[in-house]
Amino acid sequence: MATWVLVADNSRARFFSAEKPASPLIEFRDLAHPEGRLHEGDLVTDKGGRDRNPANGVLHGLEPGTTRKQDEAERFSQIVGEELEAARSRGELTKLYIVAAPAFLGLLRRQQSSALRQLIVSEIDKNLTTQDSSSIRRQLPDYL
């Protein structure tokens, strides 16, 4: 069992482990979600729906409650959450540090069971997914 560090944003999740409190981080998994990088126009090709107001017959556009980009970020947060929950249930991690882009961190929190929340030692709201492991390690406490 080890300490895990999750570094994520809406298009990538990197999983690291540290065997000892002062150990360097070792990346063991990298999940990619390319849809998270696309612009809204690349995800949706159709125009929004239209509706006619029955009172005066005027047409108006219908806007969805969420954008497709938000839907993709939520979908990816579910995948990451399931991965963490599976590791927790298998007993593969004892402590978890989460480093995530601020908006994605909020989505991840919604995916966490109470048992998983108890393993979370710290959350850092920064997007470090493109950083190397030593740069990420410097953002964390000296002793994990």
Give 50-102 pLDDT, tens digit per residue: 555 566 766 555 555 567 788 889 999 999 999 999 999 999 999 999 999 99
CA 80 to CA 126: how far, in whole Å? 17
Find all residues with CB under 8 Å of 125, minimum gap 6, and list them: 100, 101, 102, 105
Judge residue 38's burial from the number of C-beta atoms within 10 Å of its C-beta, 0-12 exposed, 13-18 middle, 19 or more buried: middle
Question: Which pLDDT score is estimated for 39?
Answer: 45
Phi–psi pair at 104, nearest 5 degrees = -70, -30
Comparing CA positions, the residue from 138, 116, 133, 104 lying closest to residue 33 is 104
Number of alpha carbons in the 13 Å side-chain half-sphere of residue 45: 0
Number of alpha carbons in the 13 Å side-chain half-sphere of residue 33: 22
CA 49 to CA 94: how far, in whole Å? 48
Domains of the chain (ranges; CATH) run 2-37+66-138 (3.30.420.60)
> Which one has a higher pLDDT value, 1 or 113?
113
Find all residues with CB under 8 Å of 88, minimum gap 6, and list them: 113, 115, 116, 119
Question: Which pLDDT score is estimated for 46?
Answer: 54
Question: Which pLDDT score is estimated for 69?
Answer: 80
Considering the entire predicted model, what is its pTM? 0.79
